Amino acid sequence: MTLMHTNSKTVIFIHIPKAAGITFYQILKRQHKTQYIQYIEAGISKQRSIDAFRELPEEKRARLRCILGHMPFGLHQWLLQTATYITILRNPVERVVSEYYFLRRKPAHPLFSELIEKNVSLEGYIRMMSDMNTANLQTRWVSGCVDFDSVIPPYEDLPANALDMAKENIKNRFSVCGLTKRFDESLLLMQKILGWKNIYYMRRNVGKRRASKDQLPAATLHLIEKQEEKDLELFEYAAKRLAEMLDANNIGDEKIRSFRAKNRLFGPPLCICELFVRKLGTIANTIIQ
């Protein structure tokens, strides 16, 4: 299962909400020049952002080397060049709980008012997900079972073969499907397969402490697991495949320990430097304007 470098391809990163995407961005953006990166925005701007991408002149789309954002599988159909996908999945129970508390802290999000004003519980939010067909979001996005003319929920019902489609895509269209719980290992695998250079990082957008899934009431845990059944199976499939790929590419405990030791040393200073450079760029743009 050792793969050839695919750094000549356009890399499309599907950013699953609440799955370490913001932390991952700092690494991914370091691998490509800014003018060759296309961002797909989140929230209510997502449809407009995808429409803008599709309306780009062919020559501009042909120059892209990285597309990243909250989007489903399928944007490669508007590219003339070869593309490869990457993503990071999260345990579905942890992802749903994290998303619920995240939305309660984001006044700009469309669901914020409803969650706060109606004091919607976690259990109530799970039912809201069912009503909007946003359950099993990871399966939906990785399978590509989303209409690109209507990427804002509520979604249509998932087809019966959505899970099979998602697994098939991971197997044949994704260079790496990583996991949040094996973030460092996923990074090392991407570095090897995609030919990346600097992959040191500092965690970003980490949520506040809250009850772990092991501390949830049994009824709540059962409710989430029942609703996220497809995502749970997809997560297990991705975990098995990632383990096989790590083994095939000789990424074992020693390499992982070495990377973590170096990341503790180089990660924070590097990220602070990046923030400083970005701030200087903002100041410079303001002066020019």
Q: What value does the mean pLDDT of the chain take? A: 89
**Predicted local distance difference test score (pLDDT) of residue 273:** 56
Is 288 a residue whose pLDDT tops 60? no
What is the pLDDT at residue 214? 72
pLDDT at residue 116 greater than cutoff 90: yes
Name the CA radius of gyration of the chain, rounded. 19
Tell me the C-alpha distance between 230 and 76, whole Å: 24
pLDDT tens for 53-100 read: 999 999 999 999 999 999 999 999 999 999 999 999 999 999 999 999
Query: How many Å apart are CA 227 and CA 128, to the nearest integer?
Result: 11
Mean pLDDT, rounded, for 129-147: 96
Per-residue pLDDT tens digits for 147-204: 999 999 999 999 999 999 999 999 999 999 999 999 999 999 999 999 999 999 998 7
Mean pLDDT of 34-47: 93
Confidence band (pLDDT; 50, 70, 90) for 247?
Answer: very high
For the chain, domain boundaries: 10-91+137-209+235-288
